[in-house]
Amino acid sequence: MAKSNEPIWWSLFSAGGVIAAFLVPIHIFLTGIAWPLGWVAGDTLDYAKMQALLSHPIARLYCFVLISLPLFHWAHRFRFTLVDLGLRGVNTLLAVLCYGAAIVGTVVTARVLWTL
């Protein structure tokens, strides 16, 4: 059998799926719904508070994992969704574009969190 790098992408997909399942809903709810609608204290997202929270290395590491792994989850699902929709002929190109986007996203995330 030809050597395959699928296991790497599948592991990242799987890990990203776990992170997305357990942590993304509460984040969307807090920053995108509860805070804008005034269900939580108005100063929850204040600049100084967020700065203080993210000054801790563990909080930054958490954000890195929270953003990066689900991007690989997206890449894997989106790639195969497009293949299922009939783009089988450009499967390799799709793989490069999708995983490539996730890698770029990971690098940018690391940079942003580093300079924070």
Partner 1 sequence: MKPYVRPMSGAWWLHRGSYLLFMLREISSVFIGVYLVMFLVMLNRLSQGPAAYDEFIAGLKSPLAILFHLVALAFALLHTLTWFHLTPKAMAVWSGEERVPAALIIAPNYVAWVVLSGVVAWFVLGG
Going 54 to 56 to 58 to 61, the CA torsion angle's sign is positive
Using rule CB under 8 A, residue 67 touches partner 1: yes
Query: Residue 44 in 3-state DSSP?
Result: coil
Count the Cβ atoms, other than its own, within 10 Å of residue 74: 18
Phi and psi dihedrals of 57, rounded to 5? -55, -35
Going 110 to 15 to 21 to 103, the CA torsion angle's sign is positive
Alpha helices in 28-90 (DSSP H): 47-54, 57-84
Which one of residues 6, 10, 26, 107 is an interface residue with partner 1 (CB under 8 A)? 26
Using rule CB under 8 A, residue 47 touches partner 1: yes
Using rule CB under 8 A, residue 99 touches partner 1: no
Which one of residues 28, 61, 104, 107 is an interface residue with partner 1 (CB under 8 A)? 28
Using rule CB under 8 A, residue 15 touches partner 1: no
Q: Which two tokens stand for residue 59?
A: 């909080």
Quote the least distance from Cβ 53 to partner 1, whole Å: 7
- Residues near partner 1 (CB under 8 A) are 17-18, 20-33, 35-37, 40-41, 44-45, 47, 49-51, 53-54, 59, 63, 66-67, 70-71, 73-74, 77-78, 80-81, 84-86, 88, 105, 108-109, 112-113, 115-116
